[in-house]
Amino acid sequence: MAKKLLLEYDHVPGISTLDVYRRHGGYASLNKALKDLTPAQVLEEVKTSGLRGRGGAGFPTGMKWGFLARPEGVPRYLVCNADESEPGTFKDRYLMERIPHLLIEGMVLSSYALGANTSYIYIRGEYYYVARILERAIAEAYEAGLLGKNIFNSGFDHDCYVHVGAGAYICGEETALLESLEGKRGNPRIKPPFPAVAGLYGCPTVVNNVETIAAVVPIVRDGGAAYAGIGVGKSTGTKLISASGHINRPGVYEIELGVPVEEFIFSDLYCGGMRNGKKLKAVVAGGSSVPVLPADLILKTAAGEPRLMTYESLADGGFASGTMLGSGGFIVMDEDTSIVKNLWNFTRFYHHESCGQCSPCREGTGWMEKILHKILDGHGTLADVDLLWDIQSKIEGKTICPLGDAAAWPVASAIRHFRKEFEEYVTRPASIRDVKHYYRLHSMAEA
Amino acid sequence: MAKVTIDGVTAEVPDGTTILNAARMIGGDLVPPAMCYYTKLKTSGGYCRTCIVQVTKGSDKDPRPMPKPVASCRTTVMDGMEVKNITSPELLEARAGVVEFLLLNHPLDCPVCDQAGECDLQNLAYANGKAGTRYQFPRREFEKIDIGDKVQLHMTRCILCYRCVKVADQITDGRVHGVINRGDVSEISTYVANVIDNDFSGNVIDVCPVGALTDKTFRFKSRVWYTKPVDAHRHCTKCTGKVRLWYKGEDVLRVTGRKDHYGEVNDWICNECRFDKKKTADWTIEGPSHIDRGSVISANHYESLKALKATIERQKKALPHGNKVSLGHGALDPNNA
């Protein structure tokens, strides 16, 4: 059985309440840190642990914390990014609705390390009921003296607030999140300056994902070295994966980084294999914005090595034959899936969520969606496929924030790995009205 | 001071200068075009992405190239930085892509647009764009709104440079307009139905790089290239009173701020100067305006004469039948030039 650090007690009844959470070792890490460790020591443990940002980019958390500017007389802030909006990702929601106190303990712990007396949890509007759960937990924590003035008689004061966004994907981008938190239009800022220097209200700010902050709790409890002992190479510790799609057991799984992808899909411990005995066609390994990979490339790298669930192994081969671990939104597609239709769905999402601030993303995402819609309608031409490729190449890397890249990568990878399918759509428009019907015919012809 | 090399030309610029401004100090072809950056407006720039450049060497300290093209208007130079603009074919291709995106939903109604002839988007598309469009879908439209009796808003022409929003924020007392909605349906609008009316609101017309915000008092009166710009001033209690008058015959058709080489005004002017003083008697005339851009406005006027003379000299030499050049009706007679 794989070691669980975050979801060890997720099925204990009442774990969302303070009493049950404390009975299962809750707030012990905070007690330990405030009594025995200096903030610098907590930071050192996080650095030792090799924890990397769980929101998608995988940036080393200890390094991020180390970058935080510490000018005299200026408050510092910790902001938790709970604006989990990446299609295919739902791990943070699960964590917050099951064990809200784990996040709150992590918030206080991290703030202690950073010297922040105020922290915010920015949660997306669609998670309103989760915000209620968090607020209930925060009230309990205040009552028990785990938040507020002089926590555990250590002299450390901390206030934590939940802020509910209005439900925009773009507000998951850290600078747009800060703008939104300040009450402005959620447009990403131009970097530099980075939030570590000038973030919320112009003060030094650290923005971390829910899972990253929660992971600080076991790191302080067991020590950074023990956490670093789990996993492979630079991918240490455990990771929550939101598995969805055509599998037998969709859900949130905590894995030790380094589990082979094949095992993750087919083991009964995790996804439990393909639904209805279908063949695996493709996998989007880390949320909708990472490149989609066909079955042969997701199970084995281009060099023939088995692919592991780690930051490095999934990225092996660059974008030509690799992908990214991203936020851990693991979407599995079986042989009946139409990649073109799926891509249209993703692109429609990015079109809808583009903030409209910079031109390539504002205009390009809508254009790509319209072309894909045209192809799906059976009016596409071969030139449209090349045009799609050209548009995505002109969006990628030309925008202020990574939303442009996120919109471009799925298009690029779908055309790179499934160009044949696009060409089928274009050259045999009459047969694609009913996609499933088409695939049935297609596989009969092959047999 | 920082040493920066742009397209092989090295210059020493003060610390904190942006790449765009460093290029403007050098001048010439290597200056990136800019649609949303405006020197006088703080925090402007970074949105349109036309000024992107390739940084091939970060600095002397950290010589790594930057992985992606950067917006030159918002990136400061580092000592020893090397930048490629017109010497990088990939970058020019990327910029052509940005121009295509900007034109994607633009109505291309230049024949009926008051901005035509002095439009940054026209110049940009002419210099950096492609001849045709690859967009086969209907262009987006907006519900028309009235923002007052002085300024006309054509949202379909807007490229969302945010300049007018920053003008309202930074030089007027209160901002009543902004960007509403999201993505490709975001629009400049007042919330809720309001008029933009204060002493300096007319400056949104000057900063607008396209024909989205135009002067209602000048509307459909003349193409800009039939009007002659003249610099003039008057004593004004609200602004510096230094303006540019646009004449057609004896009539002042409109008043604008004096724009420099990059289309940026030297001084903000007040609405009284802009909209109410349209008689020659109101003004002290300084003389014809210097217009040096590749603008069609200059084709009718002063600057072009020099170029025309040179062309005629060349022609004279090239012609086999001596120095007699026959020109059409109304043209400059080279033999008297």
Reduced to 3 states (helix: H, G, I; strand: E, B; else coil), residue A302 is: coil
Token reading at A138? 């925060």
Q: How many alpha carbons lie under 13 Å from residue A197 in its C-beta half-sphere?
A: 4
The count of CB pairs under 8 A between chains A and B is 86
Domain membership flag for residue B296: no
Q: Which residues are A238's β-sheet partners?
A: A256
Residue A175 sits at the chain B interface (C-beta within 8 Å)? no
pLDDT tens digits along A366-406:
999 999 999 988 889 999 999 999 999 999 999 999 999 99
What is residue B289's predicted lDDT score, i.e. its pLDDT? 87
Query: Do residue A398 and residue B98 have CB atoms under 8 angstroms apart?
Result: yes
| Nearest partner of A290 among A256, A319, A317, A257, judged by Cα | A319
Chain B neighbours among A 330-389 (CB < 8 Å)? 351-360, 362-367, 370, 374, 387
Q: Which of A272, A241, A261, A255 is nearest to A305 (CA)?
A: A261
Q: Is A348 exposed, middle or buried (0-12, 13-18, 19+ CB in 10 A)?
A: middle
Answer whether B104 touches A (CB < 8 Å).
yes
pLDDT of residue A54: 94
Task: Write the pLDDT tens digit of every residue in A73-83.
Answer: 999 999 999 99
Query: Is the same domain home to B25 and B83?
Result: yes
Minimum Cα–Cα distance from B136: chain A residue:
A371
Rg value, chain B, Cα: 22
Name the residue range of residue B52's domain.
2-91
Structure-token pair, residue A277 = 């005995």
Q: Are residues B164 and B118 in the same domain?
A: yes
Contacts of A360 in chain B (CB under 8 A): 49, 97-98, 101
The verdict on B213 and B226 lying in the same domain is no
The CATH fold assigned to A233-334 is: Ubiquitin-like (UB roll) (3.10.20)
Residues B333, B239 share a domain? no
Give the minimum alpha-carbon distance from A359 to chain B in angstroms, rounded to a whole number.
5
Locate A262 and state its tokens: 């094949």
Q: Note whether B69 and B22 are same-domain residues.
A: yes
CATH number at residue B120: 3.30.70.20
pLDDT band at A321 (very low <50, low <70, confident <90, very high): very high
Residue A398: which of B74, B94, B134 has the nearest Cβ?
Answer: B94
- The answer to whether position B135 is within a domain reads no
Residue B51, both tokens: 């000024």
A254 SS3 class:
strand
pLDDT-wise least confident of B177-181, B276-280, B290-294: B290-294
CB–CB of B49 and A363 under 8 A?
A: no
Same domain as B223, residue B212: no
Say whether both B241 and B315 belong to one domain: no
Phi-psi region of B213 (alpha: psi -120 to 50; beta: other; left: phi over 0): beta
CA torsion through residues A397, A399, A405, A408, sign: negative
What is the residue extent of each domain of chain A?
18-229, 233-334, 339-446
A280 touching chain B per CB within 8 A: no
| Alpha-carbon gap: A312 to the closest alpha carbon of chain B (Å) | 19
Is-contact B47 A357, C-beta < 8 A?
Answer: yes
By the 10 Å C-beta count (0-12 exposed, 13-18 middle, 19+ buried), B255 is classed as buried
Strongest mean pLDDT among A425-434, B270-279, B326-335? B270-279
Distance in angstroms (rounded) separating the CA atoms of residues A367 and B105? 10
Fold of A18-229: Rossmann fold (3.40.50)
Overall average pLDDT of the A336-353 stretch: 94
How many CA atoms, within 13 angstroms, populate the side-chain half-sphere of residue A34?
A: 22
The Cβ of residue B211 has, within 10 Å, a number of other Cβ atoms equal to 25
Provide the domain count of chain B: 4
Chain B interface test: which of A355, A359, A399 (most B C-beta within 10 Å): A359
Q: Per CATH, is A339-446 categorized as 1.20.1440.230?
A: yes
- Whether omega for the bond prior to residue A71 falls within 30 degrees of 0, making it cis, is no
Closest residue to A355, CB basis, from B46, B94, B182: B182
Dihedral angle over CA of A303, A306, A310, A316, nearest 10: 10
Residue B248 in any domain: the answer is yes
Interchain contact, B160 vs A354, CB within 8 Å: no
Of A362, A387, A399, the CB nearest to B184: A362
Which residues of chain B does A400 touch, with a Cβ-Cβ cutoff of 8 Å? 46-47, 71
B295-322 tens-digit pLDDT:
666 655 544 445 556 666 766 666 555 4
Task: Summarize pLDDT for B37-79 with one digit per residue, the tens.
Answer: 999 999 999 999 999 999 999 999 999 999 999 999 999 999 9
Q: For residue A232, is pLDDT > 70?
A: yes
Strand partners for A352: none
